[in-house]
Copies of this chain bind each other. A is one copy, B any other.
Amino acid sequence: MSMKLLKPEQFGLKREVEYGSPEQNAAVQQIVAAVKAEGDAALLRFTEQFDRVKLSSEQLRVTDEEIQAAYAQVDEAFLLAIREAADNIRRFHEKQLRNSWMDLAEDGTMLGQIMRPLKRVGVYVPGGKAAYPSSVLMNVIPAQVAGVPEIVMVTPPATGGTEGIDPYILVAAAEAGVKELYRVGGAQAVAALAYGTESIAPVDKICGPGNIYVALAKRSVYGVVDIDSIAGPSEIVVLADDSADPAYIAADLLSQAEHDEMASAILVTASEKLAQAVIAEVDSQLASLPRYEIAKASIEQYGAVLLVASLEEGIKVVNQLAPEHLEIMTVDPMSQLSYIENAGAIFLGPYSSEPVGDYFAGPNHIIPTNGTARFSSPVNVDDFLKKSSMILYSKQALLANGHKIMTLARHEGLEGHARAIEVRLNKEGQ
């Protein structure tokens, strides 16, 4: 079965956010409560139960020797590529940094906004095949650029007896600057980061992807600590005209589809010729893809070619879909940019294939999914900063404005607020 060719009104992309079953929620609540109450003892018990690895408290932390050993196991081409990627990611995120500022008024008043990094951040890295070195960089580097002094990583030990963690993950963590790593995963790791145990000090924010138990645990500790948003399945929308190369578009659609059976790959075009050519290319390229079954399921269920009347209508459709990734392959992609209201990352022109951004260019690859680009943003330095307001009111300003403040406070029935001003005005002889 090939990609469906549809009018936009025939297509609706709605995938429900996963909230877990009542049983999964209950299991997570119980794990979180146990780690909160018992600390390391519960952490080690759950690690034995779920990962089938028996550890002592002393074995939780990954040693420097293990990290050095990991370097010996990764190949040189990988190391060079990930170092250059890390540099690019660091350089891009450094441009997001902001200064604290102050505004000094003529009456002596100073108002300001102070930017400070969070003190301690925990990054969750899933185990097994879901462990991506690139995601380690994308989670850790923005925190590091923000100035977070303590960045902690947790990742499950390999299931079933060995304590080994993928050396590529260890090297990516070290390259990103992580100095504190623990071999613990699942809801128990999230609980340890939120509440702390004898071995793991609590953090201010937890980020990084995980399975449904990790996601539910993060949701349940939100408020005790900050969390990042829970990622849904990945999406790409390509907006293209006749000038685009169908082989490029098909390859980019498939690179998204191979992620996950629930991933979504959509072409929006006013050209029926291009639409048909892309459908044929997808069929042909799909056949030889190693992750054929996954990509096929994604294309069949959530893939589509949406035929629109014009580029203008195409832009409207894009804004409604609010995709995680948008590629614009038109004669002059920059001239469409201003009209794109909702898209997490926008790739312009024939050479800006999505994997360029997934791995290397510099912008973050953790991007809002499932239409949430309407109101949220790719991971960035701001996610690891907090702001404080600063108010230094002068005597002159208080004398000039005190009565107005009292008027507003008394209108709201807050006499105590008014008197906090009045006690000062009285003392100053007004």
Write the residues of chain A forming the contact surface with B, with a CB cutoff of 8 angstroms.
Answer: 17, 77-78, 80-82, 84-85, 92, 95-96, 98, 101, 103, 109-111, 113-114, 116, 118-119, 129, 132-134, 168, 204-205, 223, 225-226, 245, 247-248, 251-252, 254-255, 257-259, 285, 289-291, 295, 333-334, 337, 340-341, 343-364, 367, 370, 372-378, 380, 382, 386-395, 397-398, 401, 404-405, 407-409, 411-421, 423-424, 427
Contact = CB atoms under 8 A, between A and B. Distances in A.
Given A353-B421, A378-B389, A361 B404 contact: no
B387 A378 contact: yes
Contact of A255 (B132, B259, B417): B417
A80 B285 CA distance: 69
Contacts of A103: 92, 95
Shortest 8 CB-CB contacts between residues of A and residues of B = A363-B389, A377-B387, A258-B416, A226-B375, A81-B404, A251-B420, A348-B392, A355-B417
Q: Secondary structure at chain A's binding surface: helix, strand, loop or mixed? A: mixed
B119 A419 contact: no
10 contacts: A84-B401, A84-B404, A252-B420, A254-B419, A254-B420, A353-B421, A355-B405, A357-B389, A361-B393, A363-B391
Given A109-B361, A361-B391, A257 B416 contact: yes
Contacts of A118: 374-375
Contacts of A405: 81, 355-356, 359-360
A80 to B, nearest CB: 7
A391 to B, nearest CB: 5
Copies of this chain, complex-wide, total: 2
A355 B289 CA distance: 65
A337 B113 CA distance: 12
Contact of A391 (B248, B347, B376, B390): B347
A79 to B, nearest CB: 10
Contact of A350 (B252, B345, B374, B424): B424
A210 B331 CA distance: 50
B116 A390 contact: no
Contacts of A373: 386, 388
